[in-house]
Each structure stands twice: as structure tokens, then as C-alpha cells.
Amino acid sequence: MNTASSSGRGLIPAIILLAAIAGGAWYYYQQQEKANASIFREVTPTRGDLEVSVLSSGTVQPENRLEIKPPIAGRVEEVLVAEGDTIKKGQILAWMSSTERAALLDAAIARGPAELKRWSEFYKATPIMAPIDGSIILRNVEPGQTFTNQEAVLVISNRLTVKAQVDETDVAQIMLQQPALLTLDAYPSQVIPAHVAQIAFDATTVNNVTTYVVDVLPEVTPATMRSGMTANISFIVAAKKNILLLPAETIHTKDGRTYVQVRSSPSAEPRELDIKTGLSDGKSTEVLSGLTPKDIVLALQTKSGAAKKTNPFAPFSAKKKE
């Protein structure tokens, strides 16, 4: 029996089997490549409004916080205001007695109503008056309470403002009187129109992050706004209405050119079309020229759910170590 001839005949089926396996693996790899291939999504330019803004956060604080301290120690006889009340300059906020008057009135009470009335009219109470227009944000005393001249019996704020922390990379886009929108964490659905009232000249650096304090003043302070609340601020840098817009991912820049890929029909090959752009908020971009609302623009995207590329000749990957 010829052993070499017998071995040769047994080798042929093995070669054929290996070739079939290799061919099948290659076909599978090609199909996987097609599944992973990038495809185009057709986009039509649309007209709409675009607003570019800088976002920040801050805290509601009084613009001018004024503590009312009596000139002498004594006792409060009557408080005429409550927290949240709007007051005018010169308005009487409370009546007080000096320590001497309080002691004299207490002694007169023991002698009867007539004696108390006589001394009350003879020794008049001292008024505590508002030095500025504003609102009462803290009432720290009640009738009958004694105090020293170092204690604040009332705290006044002329108006509430938001102290926003703006990153140094964005502060160049902020200007005085620039419009802004406020939302409070406590009332997220309420949008408050505001404007920039002041920009700090001195920076604050925390954890290597440099920020500037920007005072944002509401156009009308809502009754729900309280000192200490957290606010989110949107500084409106630029805004345009009824402009031609494209998704930002459809626009490409290369060698100083700005262009999009378009095609005239679904079967046509994509071609590059130069355009000129304007405002952009990162999601949508204004198209100034080079494009019409009838053009079909292509956005490059990867087919969702595509499998990760694998080597068809190494189908069993190494098991990861636990």
C-alpha cells in the first residue's frame, strides 16, 4: 500500500475544509464592515430663531444690606413693620425707650394709669427711622425686648441682586446693561428678565479656577425671591430671528474652507458646497450664504447598534481577568 498517496488523498479534503472556513469568515467580516460603515442622514435647512448665551450660577444677595442699630441701649415699645415690607426713607419703623425712660415708665405703672400717661407724654419715645428706601429682610426684635446699641434690631435691603460667578474665559462676552434671564432653583419654571448691573474688576481664584463676580439685577423683583437663594443665569450674548439654520454636525471646516455635503437626489453622489456661517450655539448654526432651504444636506452618522470590529480569524477573544 502506498502510504504517501494515501496521505495526499486525506490532505485534500482538509485543505478544502479550511478554504471554506476562511471564505465564510471573510464573508462574515465583509458583512460586519458594511454594518459598521458610516451612513448619511438627509437634513433640510430650516428657518428659525437662534440665541447664543453664556451660562452661570450665583446667589441672591442684597445689593445694599443695611443693619439698623439704635444709638443707645433700651427697650422696644412698638414695631411697625414686618419682614418683607417695602419701606420709604424717613418712615418710622419702631418706637423705643432708652434704659432710663423704660425704668421710669415701669415705676409709673405701679402708681396707676394716670401717672403712666403723664410720664409717657412728658418723656416721649424715640423713633427708629428708615435711612433708605428698601425692604425689611430681617426683623430681629419684638415689643418689650431690650437691646444694646451693638445689636441690629432690623436689617434693610434696597433691592435684591444676583451675584453670578463668571469664568474668566467668558467674562469678555459680558457687558454692562446686557440682558440676561434668571431662574431660581426654588422656582425653576419662573423666568425672570434681568440685566448686568456691575462687573467686578478683581478676580477670585478657587482650585485654580478664576472667576469674576457679575451683579445681575432683575427688572422686576418677584415676591418669591429671597436672599440666599441659588440662581441660574443665562447671559444673552447675541440673538437673531428668522434665519437659515443647520445642525452643527453637518458643517465641516478644512484648509480655511467651510462647507457642507449635499446631493441633488437620493442616488446621486455627495458633493461639497462652500457656505458662509454666522451665529452658533453648539447645536444649530446660522447659514449666511451658499445654501438655500431646498438643498439636501448630508449629516454623517454611524449606524446605531453596530458591532465592534473583530478579527474573523481570531473569533475567540481572551477572557478578561476578574
- Number of Cα atoms under 13 Å in the Cβ half of residue 242: 0
Tens-place pLDDT, residues 43-68: 889 999 998 999 999 999 988 889 99
Class of domain 68-157: mainly beta
Pick the more confident residue, 110 or 23: 110
Ramachandran region, residue 88 (left: φ > 0; alpha: ψ -120 to 50; beta: rest): beta
CA distances from 103 to 94, 99, 297 (A): 19, 6, 88
- Residue 27 is predicted with a pLDDT of 63
- Residue 268 is predicted with a pLDDT of 77
Per-domain residue ranges for the chain? Answer: 38-47+243-302, 54-61+159-240, 68-157
DSSP code for 321: P
5: confidence class by pLDDT, cuts 50, 70, 90: low
Q: What is the mean pLDDT of residues 104-111?
A: 91
- Number of Cα atoms under 13 Å in the Cβ half of residue 217: 12
Alpha helix (H) ranges present in the chain? 3-36, 99-109, 113-122
Rg (C-alpha) for the chain, rounded Å, is: 38
Strand partners for 187: 184
DSSP code for 319: P
C-alpha cell at 74: 433700651
CATH architecture of the region 54-61+159-240: Beta Barrel (2.40)
The percentage of residues in the chain with a pLDDT greater than 90, rounded to a whole number, is 52
pTM of the model: 0.59
Question: CB within 8 A of 278, min separation 6: which ones?
Answer: 240, 243, 285, 286, 287, 288
Q: How far apart are CA 54 and CA 232, in angstroms?
A: 11
10: confidence class by pLDDT, cuts 50, 70, 90: low
- Residue 312 is predicted with a pLDDT of 47
What's the CA angle centered on 139, arms 67 and 188, to 5 degrees? 95
Tens-place pLDDT, residues 233-246: 999 999 899 999 99
- Residue 176 is predicted with a pLDDT of 95
- Residue 269 is predicted with a pLDDT of 81
Edge-to-edge, what's the strand order for the sheet holding 65-68? 65-68, 154-157, 134-139, 86-87
Backbone phi, then psi, for 154, in 5-degree steps?
Answer: -145, 150
Strand partners for 194: 180, 218
Tens-place pLDDT, residues 68-107: 998 889 999 999 999 889 999 999 999 999 999 999 999 9
Question: CB within 8 A of 318, min separation 6: which ones?
Answer: none
Tens-place pLDDT, residues 185-201: 999 999 999 999 999 99
Name the CATH code of domain 38-47+243-302 (choices 3.30.70.920, 2.40.420.20, 3.40.50.150, 3.40.50.1820). Answer: 2.40.420.20
C-alpha cell at 25: 469568515
